[in-house]
Amino acid sequence: MEKIALITGGSRGIGRAICLELAQAGYKIIVNYLSNAKAAEQTLAECNNNGIILQADVSSSDGINKLVSEIQNNFGRLDVLVNNAGITRDNLLIRMSQQEWNEVIQTNFAGIMELTEAILPIMQAQQSGKIINIASTVGVHGNAGQTNYAAAKAALISYTKIKARELMPFIQVNAIAPGLVKTDMTADFNLAELSKTKLGRAAEPQDIAACVKWLATASGNYITGQIIEIDGGLFLWSDIKALV
Ligand code: NAP
């Protein structure tokens, strides 16, 4: 039986790379997007059109209900859910508006929890499934100017650990916490300067997607409740060799 994978925010960036990796691994791909239809079409074309495109705002209950009922109607099953869609609204906390706070918490955490809980009955009926949440290193380490984003990602990390416990043994739940990745989200950043990591570069989206494939396919069957940081050593500053 052909396996089905839903990638939220599959139109661009990390989400597109995940769609391509999973398509190459033989999955039928559901490319979700918010407003960039052309980009979603390009993603699906790069997946040899093996799948469908579903526009839905995953930060809203209406969008989530639409997505879940389309999946039920089109496939009646779901093997992999990748909660990838995310946004930033950066500001120092003292200047952060209520709207900047709400949008990020809603998209990067509350909507993900609502979508996941709505998808779970499908996976529970199958007694199988993989849930992979795209968090961030800032959800582990924090970052000035990103209280909304870091709080949402930290909540997502906690949710990942709890759902892994609650859903054992049939459904595996893991999170990936990327550092700096070359996408539209970081287009305004000086990545060369910020990426003075042990590995000397920012990540390509494919660096993250390869790990998603590993978790989604049979190679990840014995992995659950893990938070995998893929950051090129961004936070490995305390190495004594740097001091001599
Ligand atoms: P990106 O290039 O800005 O792409 C964002 C994607 O999310 C797009 O496909 C967008 O759809 C979709 N999206 C946004 N809001 C949505 C909504 N409400 N409903 C449905 N889709 C929505 O971002 P990215 O850099 O690939 O980031 C992907 C994930 O990785 C995010 O969760 C982000 O927080 C995380 N991450 C990124 C980095 C980084 O350095 N880039 C680092 C750590 C973690 P449209 O194309 O329709 O707009």
pLDDT tens digits for 133-149? 999 999 999 999 999 99
What separation in Å is there between the alpha carbon of 1 and the centre of ligand 1? 30
Q: Catalytic annotation on 149? A: yes
User: What rounded mean pLDDT belongs to the chain?
Assistant: 95
In this prediction, residues 124-137 reach a mean pLDDT of 98
With 0-12 CB in 10 A as exposed, 13-18 as middle and 19+ as buried, what is 141? middle
What does each C-alpha distance from 206 to 14, 21, 87, 232 come to in angstroms?
A: 7, 8, 19, 13
> From the centroid of its chain, how far is CA 99?
22
* Rg, Å, the chain Cα set: 17
Domains in the chain, number: 1
**Angle, in degrees to the nearest 10, between helices 147-167 and 98-105:** 20
Q: Which numbered atom of ligand 1 lies nearest the CA of 15?
A: 26
Residue 244 has pLDDT above 60, yes or no: no
Largest CA distance in the chain: 62
Contacts of 140 (CB under 8 A, 6+ apart): 154, 157, 177, 227, 229
Q: Which numbered atom of ligand 1 lies nearest the CA of 57?
A: 19
Among 53, 55, 87, the mutation site with the greatest number of ligand 1 atoms within 8 A of its Cβ is 87
Question: Dihedral (C-alpha) 203, 31, 116, 139: value to the nearest 10 degrees?
Answer: 20
Q: Distance between CA 2 and CA 124 in Å, rounded?
A: 18
Higher pLDDT, 200 or 160: 160
User: SS3 for 214?
Assistant: helix
Query: Which position among 27, 33, 149, 159 bears the catalytic label?
Result: 149
Q: How confident is the model at residue 199 (pLDDT cuts 50, 70, 90)?
A: confident
pTM: 0.97
**CATH code, domain with 199:** 3.40.50.720
* Structural contact between residues 107 and 34, judged by C-beta atoms closer than 8 angstroms: no
Ligand 1 binding pocket, CB closer than 6 Å? 8-9, 11-15, 32-36, 39, 57-59, 84-87, 107, 134, 136, 178, 180-181, 183-186
Q: Distance between CA 236 and CA 180 in Å, rounded?
A: 14
What separation in Å is there between the alpha carbon of 228 and the centre of ligand 1? 18
User: SS3 for 228?
Assistant: strand
| Of 58, 174, 53, the residue nearest 114 (C-alpha) | 58
Owning domain of residue 65 = 4-243
What separation in Å is there between the alpha carbon of 15 and the centre of ligand 1? 7
Residue 227 has pLDDT above 80, yes or no: yes
Among 185, 186, 194, 231, the mutation site with the greatest number of ligand 1 atoms within 8 A of its Cβ is 185
Q: Distance between CA 234 and CA 232 in Å, rounded?
A: 6
Q: Distance between CA 68 and CA 62 in Å, rounded?
A: 10
